[in-house]
Structure 1
Amino acid sequence: MSAAPIEIRWLSAVFDFPADDFGDEVTFWRAIAGSTVSPPRGDRRQFASLEPFTGDPHLRVQRVETGVGGVHLDIHVDDVDDAATVAESLGARRTGQTPDGVEMQSPAGFTFSMVPWNGEHERSRPIRWPGDTISIIDQICVDVPSRRFDEECTFFTRLTGWELESASRPEFRALHHPESMPIRILLQRMTSGSVGAHVDLASTHPADEVSRHEDWGAEVVSQHGTWTVMADPTGRPYCITARNPRTGRLPDAG
Structure 2
Amino acid sequence: MKRKRRIRTALNVTQEGEEIKLGDPDDQHLEWELHLSGLTDEEWKAVEELFHGCEGSLRSFCFLDPTGNLLAWSGDLARTVWQREALLGVSPGILDPFGGEGAARLVNLGQTEQTISQALDVPANFHYCLSLYVRSAAPGRVKLRQWSGSRARATEFEVTSSWRRIFQTANLGGTEARVYFGLALPAGGSVEVYGLQVEPQRGASAYKESRERGGIYRNARFAGDELRVRSDGVDSHSSVIRIAVNLKQS
TM range, smaller chain: under 0.3
Structure with greater proportional strand content: 2
Structure 2 length-normalised TM: 0.24
Structure 1 length-normalised TM: 0.24
Structure with greater proportional helix content: 1
